Amino acid sequence: MGIRGDGMLLHTVYRIVLVLAVAPLAYYLLSLYCVVAYFHELRKSPPLSSAYLPPVSILKPVRGVDREAYENFASYCRLDYPEYEIIFAVADPDDPAVPVIERLQANFAACSIRLIKGAERIGTNSKVNSLCRLVQEAKYDLMVMSDSDVRVGADYLKVVAPPFADPQVGVVTGFYRCITAGGFAADLDALGMYLDSAPGALVARRLEGKMQFAFGWTMATTKKQLSEIGGWEAMANYHSDDFELGNRIARRGYRVELMRKPVWMVFPQETIAQFFGHELRWSIGLKNVRPTGYQWLVLTHGLPWALLAAGCATRAGWEGIASAYLIAYLGLRLGLAWTTGSWGLGDAGAWKKLWLVPVRDAINFAAWVGGFFSERILWRGIAYRVKNGQLFPMTGASLANDGAAQGLSAITNSENIT
């Protein structure tokens, strides 16, 4: 009787696991629906009027030199737009990016390009310190901020600016397509947009009825709207400055709009350790800005659930069900990556990375688990504790006693400020 009872209990546990393992598959279906619906609606909608083309200040906080940095910067100098300026800011006058920017100024003399060296230390986020200075230097009300590893097309500002003709638009942000040199870790990194960032944003947009955050690789707002939330100065101690910008402006009743065309992101050659390091940093940041939502992400990690369900079904003698879970996971995940990357965002090379999807999911799950066990990150060699979304520099003594932070130093020191 005891053995029979144990067997019944095990089968009950197996059934519970099989039910829970449906959750990530349902989430993938929802993601696929949101992606298809968004891009279908986008292609049916009429183009935005190009009548509203106000002058624009492009703000570029820079630290260090990214891969193909000159070409990234030069793409902003070739824009088909009536009036704009580009302002770069470096914290250190001897930053290696300075010669690259000076070369840019020489080669594009007709383009208004300024370089600001140094920024007042307002808070712990050095990128935001530079943005505070850049906003002060900007001549125009409409400001576009983008990371140094982003490359754009000639019509970039003609896509960004027109939504601001509607005074209810507070932020414009967007997705990106990926440029890699074919490295294993870089290709893994690139899949993040197609598997998680874009689908996750579109699911949130559908469920919440609006976007409530921005993406740091490209975002635009006005001086008026920025001043209403206290300027960048109010976010100078925060880790996820892009989330804070979009969320704070959205909370004031403005809309966060998505660009109709993606930008390009140029990924560095990196190691698996470096890739995992910034995935872990991202996880720790997300846990701090959306702690409840971070916990519920357990039901969106399909790979571990599919493996667990397959194992339970096999133990119970339900081999067909085991195969069904694995096939469903792989089919939905590959379909989502292709639909978002190739069909939606137009990345013709996205299909070449599809074989890496399970590897990416395994690393992403490990980083999500790791995020529960640390509040500490290393950002450009500086150790911080992240608490309630804010950055607190760690003292030499606390760092010396923190083995986790020391262990991360080797895999995060090479990251750019942006």
Distance CA 294, CA 249 (A): 22
Tokens of 301: 């990690």
CATH code linked to domain 53-271? 3.90.550.10
Residues 6+ apart with CB under 8 A from 375: 284, 288, 385, 386, 387
pLDDT per position as a tens digit, 136-162: 999 999 999 999 999 999 999 999 999
Residue 82 pLDDT: 95
In angstroms, what CA-CA distances link 59 with 14, 51, 219? 55, 23, 10
Going by C-alpha positions, the residue among 119, 196, 194 that lies closest to residue 417 is 119
Angle among Cα 293, 294, 299 to the nearest 5 degrees reads: 85
**Residue matched to tokens 């990357």:** 341
Q: Is the pLDDT of residue 345 over 70?
A: yes
Q: Which residue has the higher pLDDT, 274 or 397?
A: 274
Q: How many CB atoms lie within 10 A of CB 160?
A: 27
Highest mean pLDDT among 152-156, 312-316, 401-405, 407-411: 152-156
| 376-379 and 218-222 beta bridge pairing | unpaired
Q: How many CB atoms lie within 10 A of CB 237?
A: 18
Contact 99, 88 (CB under 8 A): no
Distance CA 391, CA 411 (A): 19
Contact 377, 288 (CB under 8 A): no
pLDDT per position as a tens digit, 257-273: 999 999 999 998 889 99
DSSP string, 151-214: E--TTHHHHHSGGGGSTTEEEEE--EEEE--S-HHHHHHHHHIIIIIHHHHHHHHHHHSS----
Distance CA 206, CA 57 (A): 31
Q: Which residue has the higher pLDDT, 92 or 175?
A: 175
pLDDT per position as a tens digit, 188-220: 999 999 999 999 999 999 999 999 999 999 999
For the chain, the C-alpha Rg in angstroms (whole number) is 23
Q: Is the pLDDT of residue 221 over 80?
A: yes
Going by C-alpha positions, the residue among 194, 242, 254 that lies closest to residue 214 is 242
Q: Is the pLDDT of residue 249 over 60?
A: yes
Tokens of 283: 């996880």
Ranges 6-15, 285-294, 362-371: which has the least confidence: 6-15
